Amino acid sequence: MDKILPGEDDLKQFLQKYPSVKYIRLQWIDFSGVLRTRFLPSERCLKIARGEEEYLLPQVSMIIPVSTAPKCFPTTDTLETWVLEPDWSSLRCCGFRQHHASVMCFVRHKEAQEPYDKCPRMLLCRTLARLERDWGVKALAGFEIEFMLLEGRNAQPLDQLDRLNSYQTTAGLRGQTLDTLEEVLDDLEKASIGIQHFHTETHDQIEIALSPESPLQAIDSLILAQETIRTVFVRHGIKATMTPKPLIKGPTNGIHLHLSVDKLALPHTDNFLAGILNHMSSLCAFGMANFDGYVRTGKDAAGAWIGFGTENRDLPVRKVNDQHWEFRMLDSTSNPYLFTAAVLLAGLGGIDEKAELTWEDCGVFPHSLDEGQRTKYQLTKKMPGDLKNAVDSLKEDTAMRQWVGVDLCHSYIPLKDKEIEVFQEMTEEERRIRFTEYF
């Protein structure tokens, strides 16, 4: 999968089908979870698709911490040459912008011995290929997106007569908010993104659940859906933010990954889940990659204890059935290609090692249990309490760093260390405003 095929035919067919498209957004997600974009005329994209031109990037394109932006944080003094390589099979119309389409890209480091080893999208492609090659298994993924509606430069709750106020109510969806939300859904349909449902979550918060697809396509849909939500609401003077801690006191935002695997049966599914739970703290460094994101492990949002339970939303893993799980330790500040690949790699590691699922299926609220009762379910280890704890776990997790790649971790971990260093010197309000600007 390391050879990127020319996409001239894909692009030509797309432009014939959508002749109004004038600009194509070449997009990728950096190690800070930020969507980066170059806007190109479609004619220049045809040259790239024919292999007549390489699209070069500055070496900083993956390593711009949110805390120091626009200042980058290079991990080497050597100048590097990076190439943006569109995956033309991922072309989608931007439903929210008539003349625009988007394509997700691989990033290639020309001087590196393994030029794609720092590319999260390629890591996921390789992992999915391994899952199918070694086990004959294909995966499906779908995402639930939580977002809050705020207004003004200081990102405060909306002052409106009909307020979103609780879980699964019609309150808040009787006027302009529903009109705008339907505009979002119409634009998702134009971009060939399906939804399962949408509903109110709590004060000023909505959730949209996307339809399942293969993991790579599901993440492509997630990224375009997030951009659609943000763009449509901002046109109406509303900030739709997905940052994990949009208010100092208030609801938190997460993204929930639903992952299912076909043709994988017991005991391999238990081994798969055990591998993920064994590496949960390290996975949090990829999934909750934000300094303030760990407010979600102090609540039921991502769970306070490492464990799983059938239909239990108070733990990081909700088991739906033996081949389908919901992973709740994810938010919008992650690189979702990297996180999903890391989850799959941990699961594959569990199968290879025949890891024993020592955790019991927990069917009760963990916070209602005393220490002895928690031990019954093997809820003995807490989730990371902050980003530093998660990153330190990753530093100590030799297996995870080898699975994800030493070169990638060599860039990712120092960047997260820099985020911790800078953000801990800022006030909560300064961080909140910074994160709402980006997410």
pLDDT of residue 3: 59
How would residue 385 be classed by pLDDT, with cut points 50, 70 and 90?
very high
pLDDT exceeds cutoff 90 at 305: yes
| Structural contact between residues 190 and 196, judged by C-beta atoms closer than 8 angstroms | no
- Give ∠ CA 83-87-89 in degrees, rounded to 5: 165
* Percent residues over pLDDT 90 in the chain: 80
The Cα 52–Cα 56 span in angstroms is 13
How would residue 2 be classed by pLDDT, with cut points 50, 70 and 90?
low
Q: Could you report the per-residue pLDDT of 162-181, keeping only the tens digit for each?
A: 888 878 888 888 889 999 99
What mean pLDDT is predicted for residues 273-285? Answer: 98
pLDDT exceeds cutoff 70 at 6: no
pLDDT exceeds cutoff 60 at 5: no
- Domains in the chain, please, with CATH? 8-116 (3.10.20.70), 129-438 (3.30.590.10)
Mean pLDDT, the chain, rounded, equals 93
* DSSP SS3 for 225: helix
| Structural contact between residues 95 and 383, judged by C-beta atoms closer than 8 angstroms | no
Q: Could you report the per-residue pLDDT of 91-115, keeping only the tens digit for each?
A: 999 999 999 999 999 999 988 889 9
* DSSP SS3 for 156: strand
Q: Could you report the per-residue pLDDT of 336-375, keeping only the tens digit for each?
A: 999 999 999 999 999 999 999 999 999 999 888 888 889 9
| Structural contact between residues 283 and 293, judged by C-beta atoms closer than 8 angstroms | no
What mean pLDDT is predicted for residues 75-87? Answer: 84
Per the structure block, which two tokens stand in for 82? 């990076």
What mean pLDDT is predicted for residues 253-272? Answer: 95
pLDDT of residue 42: 96
Per the structure block, which two tokens stand in for 437? 């600007």
The Cα 416–Cα 403 span in angstroms is 19
Q: Is the overall model pTM greater than 0.85, yes or no?
A: yes
What mean pLDDT is predicted for residues 244-253? Answer: 93
Q: Could you report the per-residue pLDDT of 234-244, keeping only the tens digit for each?
A: 999 999 999 99
Q: In 132-171, which positions are buried (b, 16+ CB within 10 angstroms) versus exposed (e)?
A: eeeeebebbbbbbbbbbbbbeeebebbeeeeebeeeeeee
How would residue 4 be classed by pLDDT, with cut points 50, 70 and 90?
low
Q: For residue 285, give the H/E element and its range.
A: helix 280-287
Alpha carbon separation from 417 to 35, 205, 342 (Å, rounded): 21, 31, 19
* Percent residues over pLDDT 70 in the chain: 98
User: DSSP string spanning 404-423?
Assistant: H-HHHHHHHHHHHHHHHHHH
Q: Could you report the per-residue pLDDT of 139-167, keeping only the tens digit for each?
A: 999 999 999 999 988 889 888 878 888 78
pLDDT exceeds cutoff 60 at 202: yes
Q: What is the CA radius of gyration of the chain?
A: 21
| Structural contact between residues 287 and 329, judged by C-beta atoms closer than 8 angstroms | yes
pLDDT of residue 348: 98
What mean pLDDT is predicted for residues 175-202? Answer: 95
pLDDT exceeds cutoff 90 at 221: yes
Q: Half-sphere exposure of residue 41, counting CA atoms within 13 Å on the CB side?
A: 3
Sorted by sequence, the CB contacts under 8 Å of residue 148 that are 6+ apart come out as 204, 205, 206, 240, 241, 246, 247, 250, 251, 253
How many CB atoms are located within 10 Å of the residue 370 CB? 7
The Cα 118–Cα 122 span in angstroms is 8
pLDDT exceeds cutoff 60 at 261: yes
The DSSP bridge partners found for residue 208 are 145, 198
Instruction: Check the CA dihedral 421-422-426-428 and report its sign.
Output: negative
